[in-house]
């Protein structure tokens, strides 16, 4: 995956990039459940552009993640509803006989997100896929360490 970070009025690009590297390093070392495994990451290019007659610095970096599978239509609907608080565990239990996948995979994703030291601040269906362990978050660009967790 290729990612770009831009310097903005409210950010410090170098500091933000170091934070991102620190988070990816933690993921590589800890391989948290509910998140896609990261095998490698690093800086590709650093430069600037002129936008509105102002110089804006940017960094392009990469991360190599495990290969994951897309969600089925049913999985997308259930996860979308969970993310938007339209379903709770009891309702998923009731729907489970109609699902083409195990309800426990959904419960595991919820539990993994709660217990992880990092969180995805841009949680969307597009950021979730399946790996050999179940559902997993695949986008680390908007992940942060939870408050009070070691960085």
Q: What is the DSSP letter of 2?
A: E
3-class SS of residue 14: helix
Cα dihedral across residues 58, 3, 123, 27: positive or negative: negative
- Closest residue by Cα to residue 36 from 21, 44, 24: 24
List, for residues 133-146, the tens digit of each pLDDT value: 889 999 999 999 99
Band (pLDDT 50/70/90 cuts) for residue 150 is: low
Contact 143, 23 (CB under 8 A): yes
Q: What percent of the chain has pLDDT over 70?
A: 96
CB atoms within 10 A of CB 146: 10
Please determine, for residue 151, whether its predicted confidence score (pLDDT) is greater than 60. Answer: no
Give the residues across from 143 on adjacent strands: 120
| Least-confidence region, from 13-22, 38-47, 78-87 | 78-87
Using CA atoms, how far apart are residues 80 and 64, in angstroms rounded to an integer? 26
- Closest residue by Cα to residue 37 from 142, 121, 137, 151: 137
* Mean of pLDDT over the chain: 88
- How much is the average pLDDT of 116-135? 92
pTM: 0.85
Using CA atoms, how far apart are residues 20 and 144, in angstroms rounded to an integer? 8
């Amino acid at each position: 995956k290729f990612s770009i970070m831009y310097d903005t009025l409210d950010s410090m690009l170098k500091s933000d990039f170091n934070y991102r590297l620190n988070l990816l390093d933690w993921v590589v070392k800890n391989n948290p459940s509910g998140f896609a495994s990261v095998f490698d990451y690093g800086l590709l290019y650093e430069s600037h552009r002129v936008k509105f007659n102002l110089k804006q610095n940017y960094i392009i970096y990469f991360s190599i993640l495990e290969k994951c599978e897309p969600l089925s239509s049913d999985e997308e609907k259930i996860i979308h509803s969970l993310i938007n608080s339209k379903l709770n565990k009891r309702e998923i239990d009731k729907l489970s006989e109609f699902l083409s996948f195990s309800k426990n995979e959904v419960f595991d994703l919820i539990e993994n997100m709660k217990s992880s030291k990092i969180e995805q601040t841009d949680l969307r269906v597009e950021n979730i896929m399946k790996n050999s362990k179940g559902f997993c978050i695949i986008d680390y660009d908007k992940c942060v360490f939870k408050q009070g967790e070691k960085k």
